[in-house]
């Protein structure tokens, strides 16, 4: 989460009010059933805020119920919109202040398998997320190459990831070496400080 906790001492060894009041901001770019949204809501703490994007009302509803059951709905703003609209949907003062952005690509588990994330919009959203990330902030992206359309999206996302300037961010790609077929892979991008 970028290492900007609430208890960083200032030069006098005191915890500055500014640091105490700093809001941890995160984005779930693919809300789905809300598991990752809930995880982020727990991570950001009582003062933090999570923005969640999904294009399906069924996903927004499922996530809303999950957050409500956990009594954490007040930490989340759920947006029924594509993640490629991040720059127009989020307040401008969140630019450069996002500590974490999570993508979990593919289709909604238990939902309509024809509604999938698409290479064009995913890459646009990843690029914007990188630009809006705080120093030391992190993007994670779980990529599923196994479903129809998934391999193309995986190729395009990795192609984009290779172009990220190493002075801007570190880009790592995690893969299974011992799983059959086309297992998911994980892209982790951490913005330099
Ligand atoms: C694999 S699911 C996400 C699972 C979710 N992270 C969870 O914890 O349950 C992918 C989701 O991406 C959503 N999606 C597809 N295109 C999108 C877009 N352009 N912007 C935001 N979400 C999108 C789908 O509707 C689907 O719910």
* Percent of the chain topping pLDDT 70: 89
Q: Is 145 in the pocket of ligand 1 (CB under 6 A)?
A: no
At 125-177, the pLDDT tens digits run 999 999 999 999 999 999 999 999 999 999 999 999 999 999 999 999 999 99
Return the closest-CA partner of residue 27 out of 88, 97, 127: 97
pLDDT in tens, 88-98: 999 999 999 99
Phi, psi angles (nearest 5°) of residue 51:
-100, 130
Hey, whose CA ends up nearest to atom 3 of ligand 1? 32
Mutate to test the pocket of ligand 1, among 43, 55, 114 (most ligand atoms within 8 A of CB): 55
How many A from CA of 108 to the centre of ligand 1? 6
Q: What 3-state class would DSSP assign to 27?
A: strand
Domains delineated in the chain:
17-191 (3.40.50.150)
CB of 121 sitting under 6 A from ligand 1? yes
Compute the distance from residue 28 Cα to the ligand 1 centre, in Å.
Answer: 9
The alpha carbon dihedral of 138, 34, 157, 151 has a sign of: positive
């Amino acid at each position: 989460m970028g290492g900007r906790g609430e208890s960083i001492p200032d030069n006098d060894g005191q915890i500055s009010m500014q640091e105490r009041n700093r809001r941890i901001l995160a984005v779930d770019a693919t809300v789905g059933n809300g598991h990752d949204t809930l995880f982020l809501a727990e991570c950001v703490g009582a003062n933090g805020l999570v923005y969640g994007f999904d294009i399906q009302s069924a996903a927004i509803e499922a996530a809303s119920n999950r957050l409500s059951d956990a009594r954490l709905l007040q930490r989340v703003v759920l947006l029924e919109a594509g993640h490629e609209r991040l720059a127009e949907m989020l307040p401008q003062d969140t630019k450069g202040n996002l500590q974490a952005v999570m993508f979990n690509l593919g289709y909604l588990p238990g939902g309509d398998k024809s509604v999938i994330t698409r290479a064009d919009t995913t890459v646009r959203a990843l690029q914007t997320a990188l630009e809006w990330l705080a120093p030391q902030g992190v993007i994670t992206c779980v990529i599923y190459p196994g479903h129809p359309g998934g391999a193309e999206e995986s190729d395009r996302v990795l192609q984009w990831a290779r172009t990220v300037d190493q002075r801007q961010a570190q880009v790592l790609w995690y893969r299974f070496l011992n799983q059959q077929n086309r297992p998911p892979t994980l892209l982790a991008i951490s913005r330099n400080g």
